Amino acid sequence: MKQRFVYFATVLCSILFLFFGNRAASSGMPEFQGIYQDHCVMARVEGILSRQSAAQEIDGVFYGRGTNILFAAEILNGEERGQLVTGIQNVDPESPSQLRDVKKGDRVILTYNPVEGAAITWMLGEYVRTDALAVFGLAFAAVLILFGRRKGVNTLLSLGFTCLAIFVVFIPAILSGKNIYGWSVAVCVFVIVMTLLIVEGANQKCLCAAIGCFCGLAVSGALTLLCDHFLQLTGMVDENSMYLKYLIEEDPIDLKAIIFAAILVGAMGAIMDVAMSLASALRELHEKAPECSAAVLFHSGMTIGRDMMGTMANTLVLAYIGSSLSLTLLLMAYSRSVIALLNREMIVVEILQSLVGSSGILLTIPLTSLVCSVVYSHAKGTADGKAPEPLPAQPAAHEDMPL
């Protein structure tokens, strides 16, 4: 009964945090004008009408290149739903990001682009990719629930709250000019507490994992601020940082705070994984062998943690390299000096993310092991308040017992 109360209270508090957090984070956010505010609709291609050369002859000279594909499409949403319109796709063989030719049955995004004197006002923007993503997402959710059952459902719920916290609270707070340091810490604390309470429940294991997470996160944040001072970072990592800098000219976004938030959020998942796994393993050891002392539990935690440390550090490094693989390839191909390459800020930030995240994991292991050894060794029962079941009696050895 107590666990159910904590579960529903956590869900309710999470909803309230998202609602009021969004209102507080979005206050004062300016309206941004961008290309994604154009009038776009989803449509289904009903057939190909014609293929025409995109070149135009002016004074005997041909301008333009590629082919224009005219197609009929039915609009599937918005005020124009059900209308049959004519769309156009420009196929440029020299374009590096050319979409494949449309064909009947494709679901596409059309952009309304009225041009004076043009008969066709709908242009192909993108293919609808959310359908395939939804299928993959549902398959992932089904496998997770099938394997994890009740904990699988809780995992999906916590994952949903985590994504909402990032996109509904954290990102609006940055765009509205709020203090990025404070909001990043607040969102990380919310994600840790919410995830552990929903997935694990209120028990000793959850308490130990939470303390380990907070300690590891504090170490990661402190190291990031310390390295920021010694590395002389500016936050101008790439061209995206430049666009972000001038997004709000009156009150520019603090790019160094963006680096701090990125490192903290990126390290949080790995730190939470290590703390929870270690707390769960030591809890299982304590229940199977309740006579183990605090020292034995601590040394066991350190032994388990050493095995986890190597793989989790590799996970962070490989994740950061994989996320920026295209950029890494370009820099390696066009850089003439290895020293100059390693001192570029974008490379320094990638290395810093890996080092800070690994350091957070490294210090989470002994801290979580210490907390678990103290809490579990002084506990009289299990995490649910029940005394541990005695181990089954082993048959006594007898000289006449057959081998």
Q: According to the per-residue pLDDT averaged within each range, which of 164-173, 223-232, 267-276 is highest?
A: 164-173
Q: What is the pLDDT of residue 37?
A: 53
Mean pLDDT calculated for residue range 162-172 = 92
pLDDT digits (tens, 9 = 90+) for 6-60: 889 999 999 999 999 999 988 877 766 554 556 888 999 999 988 877 666 555 4
- pTM here is 0.77
Strand partners, 259: none
Give the confidence band of 401 by pLDDT, cuts at 50, 70, 90. very low
Q: What is the pLDDT of residue 231?
A: 83
Q: What is the pLDDT of residue 184?
A: 92
Distance (Å, whole) CA 177 – CA 187:
16
Q: What is the pLDDT of residue 380?
A: 54
Q: Is the pLDDT of residue 384 over 50?
A: no
Q: Where are the domains of the chain?
A: 39-112, 146-377
CB 150 within 8 A of CB 116: no
Question: CA-based Rg of the chain, rounded to a whole angstrom?
Answer: 28
**Percent of the chain at pLDDT exceeding 70:** 86
Task: For residue 126, report the phi and psi dihedrals to the nearest 5 degrees.
Answer: -150, 165
Task: For residue 42, report the phi and psi dihedrals to the nearest 5 degrees.
Answer: -100, 135
CB 210 within 8 A of CB 196: yes
pLDDT digits (tens, 9 = 90+) for 315-356: 777 777 777 777 777 777 776 777 777 777 878 888 888 888
Give the confidence band of 136 by pLDDT, cuts at 50, 70, 90. very high
Q: What is the dihedral of CA 105, 110, 113, 119, to 10 degrees?
A: 20
Give the confidence band of 388 by pLDDT, cuts at 50, 70, 90. very low
Q: Is the pLDDT of residue 397 over 50?
A: no
Q: What is the pLDDT of residue 57?
A: 53
Q: Is the pLDDT of residue 381 over 60?
A: no
pLDDT digits (tens, 9 = 90+) for 240-276: 777 787 777 777 788 888 889 988 988 888 888 889 9
Distance (Å, whole) CA 320 – CA 330:
16
Residue 391, C-beta contacts closer than 8 angstroms, at least 6 positions apart: 288
Q: What is the pLDDT of residue 385?
A: 43
Q: Is the pLDDT of residue 383 over 50?
A: no
Task: List Cα–Cα distances, 215 to 71, 275, 291, in angstroms.
Answer: 59, 10, 28
Which is higher by pLDDT, 327 or 81? 81
Nearest Cα neighbor of 102 from 55, 136, 65, 70 is 70
